[in-house]
Structure 1
Amino acid sequence: MCGTLCYEQINGTLNILVSTWRKCYEEDKLDEIIFSGLREQMEPGSLKLFSAIAYQCVKKSREERPTMDEIIKELELALKQQEVFEDLENKVNLEEIIKVVKLAGGSYESRNQLILLLLKGILVDDGKTFLSINKKGETCEMISALKCISGDHVLSSSLQESRFGSGRTTEMYKGFRVEVSTQFLSPHVTYTINLVLKRTDQVGGTNVPFKYKLENETQYSNPCIVDVREDGWLTIELYQFTSSEKGDSFSIDIAQPLLYYSSAPLYFLEGIEFRPVEHESHENQEDENKIDMQRISDSDIYWERKLMNDYTEILALSKEKLEWTTKKELYFLLRKGFLVDNNGKKWFSMSKDMKKRLMIPARASLLDKEWIWKSSPESRFGEMAEFPDGDRFLIKFKLTSEILSPQTIYSCHIIYKLPEDDSSFQHHIQTTIDDPSCGSNRERLIYLVTPPQTPIIGPKTDQDHIQPRPRKIKGHPRLRKDGWMEFQFCEISTDTTGSINMEIEFSGYRNENVNFIGLVVQGIEIRPL
């Protein structure tokens, strides 16, 4: 990456550069040492993986350096991400985009740099359209409210925090009209139509006081899926549709609901955003346990290579005597998992790529006195926790290095069940994450109950007879094969020692009334991404 030797000679004095490289990585100053012209050719995620494993390789202590198997695995992941990035040039119609970018006065030095710009997003169409691409090469398009939203009580407004620097303001209950046409969408791709807005007073939760319909529809729909962007804007999903070759046009009426408050708040309207729909992979999390049986050997040497280097230390933590006769049997034992005693009872297993997985019991992450504890054969730990009453609860856990893989991004999932009457769980749930590693709090919205499907624009027969593919939406719950529900509430990274120390509060989002009575929790599952 640096394009130089690991040392230099100045006036006959040998100067070792390794300590400088380590310092640049730790202070996030890789630009100072990476070979000129290399960074713009690398996909950011690939660069992050590559630099992380390189940093581990130059650790002072031999024990802290990775094995060759670990190095190869990380380099293969970095290469895979880089290949996806380079493949984008073949998927995206760059020639048409280049014309649009030139008209907008945009500048770039290479096609790779243009792709990096598109991954972040650029303004085109006289600053009234925000154009970007995702990692599949599908185009995302957002159109300014100034161009597509109008109404008797809709006013122009300067919005410094908006992508466009301007937008509309309105008292939502008075209604308005959306007239929007797409120019840059990828053809034959399923998109969602989203209204992007925020309250001027920054309160009010995610309950949006409007209903909506297409111009030729007679029945109104209510918003079902609402998300909060990292910059605080609400995105309200209105419809799904499949894009055409020549662009699509929509006329949508936003109307007041039957009931609304007399002192209606003012809303900023940023615009209408078209996002490609993400579907769940056919290989869901449970399928991760399946093994490709082609060309599989029974040789112990073959299966030994597929095991973690420290598997003997992990096996020593088992609460029961584990039995196996071959390395193949041991591999599947590690994949299935078993109870370990590591500062308390946990369920340990191994992923396909030799990363450590962990499930923490409810008792190790919840406050004992706030929950009702019940025996349960359905739980891996023989018990589960039921919440008696209240509008918030806290999860706290700390994990040590030997039980997790270092320098790894993990997703955290709460494993739970709801009571038969789940009406009190229909609102958004806010997670506030206290992460000491970044020295700040992070917030994310999640659902405990899957919201209704967004209306689909298209032939009615499609909605009546075709089972829609499951969508991949952050914060939405998923039914597991063991009958429990789960949702991902955060992503975390292990540091060089592999330790995690987290505190997460679950509560209703702002003014939304939520009661967690009857919520049953088995534990927290931590899986490598």
Structure 2
Amino acid sequence: MAGRGEESEGGGVPEDCISHVLSLTTPRDSCRAALVSAAFRSAASSDAVWERFLPSDYQSILSRAVEPVEYSSKRELYFRLCDSILVDGGRLQCFQLERSTGGKCYMICPRSMRIIWGDEPRYWSWISLPESRFAEVARLQFVCWFDIGGRIDCRLLSPRTTYAAYLVFKLDSWSSGLGPPPHLASVKLGAYASEFNICLEDHDDRDEEEEEEEEGRRQRQRRRLRDDGWMEIELGVFYNDEGDDGDVEMSLMEVKALNSKHGLIVQGLEVRPKI
């Protein structure tokens, strides 16, 4: 009777077969399947399943981590990597996995970005914030010519994946001049380029209508609050095919109105799979 019970619970299918099938799904589906039965739960926790969900270069990623990543199973490693880890000395970028799909995400720190006049203290200052992933963030003191950007090698990203690029930021209480007029966000990869108009500050809908009438050619994006307390705004979307198109370039600028701009705090540029 015990044997028949065990067979009915797993449907008579060997655990390694269940593991193989689950490894062809997604991390989210595997976690859901673990609720079906004890047999599915055991199969869904196996290293064979979670090895498939980890990036193929995860050993290289672990070797670049600032702090050793400790784990007792591939499932534990997967979810450990869903929390960001500093890589490449912690000065350049941090890495994490998108929890539901296993897609690779990177955030580029401000010190690795292109920030026009970023080394001039009267224009930009460098400060430490406990809530930041990086040791330093960039605070905008005052500029009229606003131009920031960054790039990342597409070979670091998940292949055959649609990505979105984001500016991750905060605003000081005394921020001003960050839109309207809108800033131009752009993302370029190989021959592909996209452009959006964005405003980092809240603004009146009537002003927006006037601007759209005037600009009228580009889609507008809006900021949103993240779970970590920072804000983000999408700069554009791109498709990473096999990672052989070179660097994806991201930028945000306002160089036409030349109004004074203050109070922006930049944590970095993030690229992650578009869900």
Query: TM-score, normalised to structure 1's length?
Result: 0.38
Maintained 8 Å contact 1:394/1:503: no
Taking a change above 3 Å as real, the CA distance of residues 342 and 396 of structure 1, as seen in their structure-2 partners, is farther
Asked if 2 retains the 8 angstrom alpha-carbon contact of 1:427 and 1:514, the reply is: no
Q: 1:400 corresponds to which residue?
A: 153
Could you tell me whether the CA contact under 8 Å between 2:160 and 2:239 is conserved in 1?
yes
In the other structure, the counterpart of 1:294 is 35
Equivalence for 2:57: 310
**Do 1:450 and 1:476's aligned partners in 2 also have CA atoms closer than 8 Å?**
no
Aligned residue in 2 for 1:369: 119
Q: Does 1:527 align with 2:268?
A: no
User: 1:477 corresponds to which letter in structure 2?
Assistant: R
Q: Is it true that 1:415 corresponds to 2:140 in the alignment?
A: no
* Corresponding residue to 1:339 among 86, 92, 113: 86
* Structure 1 residue 442 displacement after superposition: 4.5
- Counterpart CA distance in 2 for 1:360 and 1:528 is 15
Which piece of structure 1 moves more, 396-405 or 384-393?
Answer: 396-405
Distance in 2 of aligned mates of 1:423 and 1:372: 17
Report the CA distance between 1:422 and its aligned residue. Answer: 3.7
- CA-CA distance at 1:483 after TM superposition: 1.4
Secondary structure in structure 2 of the residue aligned to 1:379: coil
514 and 408 in structure 1: CA distance in 2 versus 1, 3 angstrom threshold:
farther
Q: Distance in 1 between matches of 2:113 and 2:35?
A: 41
In structure 2, relative to structure 1, the CA distance for the partners of 1:395 and 1:406 (3 Å cut) is farther
Contact residue 187 and residue 238 of structure 2 kept, 8 A: no
Kindly provide the CA deviation profile for residues 436-476 of structure 1, in whole angstroms up to 9, marking residues without a partner as x: 6127x64311121244679xxxxxxxxxxxxxxxxxx9510
Please tell me the root mean square deviation across aligned C-alpha atoms, in Å: 3.2
With over 3 angstroms needed to count, the CA separation of the structure-2 counterparts of 1:391 and 1:490, relative to structure 1, is farther
What whole-Å deviation, never above 9, does each CA across 1:248-290 have from its counterpart, x for those lacking one?
A: xxxxxxxxxxxxxxxxxxxxxxxxxxxxxxxxxxxxxxxx9xx
Provide the residue aligned with 1:506 in structure 2.
Answer: 253
Cα displacement (A) at 1:392: 3.2
From the superposition, tell whether residues 496 and 327 of structure 1 become closer, same or farther in structure 2 (CA, over 3 Å): closer
Distance between the aligned counterparts of 1:475 and 1:443, measured in 2?
10
C-alpha displacement of 1:429: 2.1
Indicate which of 417, 433, 446 corresponds to 2:198: 446
Does the 8 A contact of 2:189 with 2:247 survive in 1?
no
User: Residues 347 and 359 of structure 1 are in contact (CA less than 8 Å); yes or no, is this contact kept in structure 2?
Assistant: yes
Matched, 1:516 2:266: no
Shift in alpha-carbon separation, 1:515–1:406, aligned structure 2, 3 A:
farther
Question: Equivalent of 2:144, from 377, 391, 395?
Answer: 391
State the secondary structure of the residue aligned to 2:76: helix
Q: Distance in 2 between matches of 1:381 and 1:435?
A: 25
* 3-state SS of 2:158 partner: coil
For residues 442 and 323 of structure 1, the distance between their equivalents in structure 2, rounded to whole angstroms, comes to 40
Q: How does 1:416-495 map to 2 (within 5 A)?
A: 416-433=169-186, 435=188, 437-438=190-191, 442-451=194-203, 475-495=221-241
Return the alpha-carbon distance in structure 2 between the equivalents of residues 432 and 450 of structure 1.
17
> Structure 2: which 5+ residue stretches go unaligned?
1-20, 207-218
Match of 2:213 in 1: none
What fraction of aligned residue pairs are identical, expressed as a percent? 30
1: CA distance, partners of 2:260 / 2:49: 52
Q: How many residues align?
A: 224
Aligned CA distance change for structure 1 residues 432 and 345 (closer, same or farther; 3 Å) = closer
| Matching residue's letter, 1:517 | H
Q: Specify which structure has the bigger relative contact order, considering alpha-carbon pairs within 8 angstroms and separated by 6 or more residues.
A: 2
> Which residue type is aligned with residue 72 of structure 2?
T
3-state SS, counterpart of residue 262 of structure 2: coil
- Return closer, same or farther for 1:432/1:324 CA change in 2, 3 Å cut-off: closer
Secondary structure of the corresponding residue to residue 336 of structure 1: coil
Could you tell me which amino acid in structure 1 is paired with residue 138 of structure 2? A
Q: Equivalents in 2 of 1:483, 1:339: separation in Å?
A: 19
Query: Is the contact made by 2:92 and 2:111 (CA closer than 8 Å) also made in structure 1?
Result: no
Give the TM-score, by structure 2 length.
0.70
Aligned in 2, Cα 1:343/1:379: closer, same or farther, shift over 3 Å? closer
**Rg comparison, structure with higher value:** 1
Shift of 1:489: 1.2
Q: Tell me the SS of whatever aligns to 1:420.
A: strand
Equivalent in the alignment of 2:210: none
Q: Is the 8 A contact 1:474 1:488 kept in 2?
A: no
1:330-364 Cα offsets, whole Å, 9 max, x none, are 01011112111189521111122221111111111
For residues 496 and 302 of structure 1, what CA distance do their matches in structure 2 show?
A: 24
Aligned-pair CA distance for 1:428: 3.7
- Residue type at the aligned position of 1:318: A
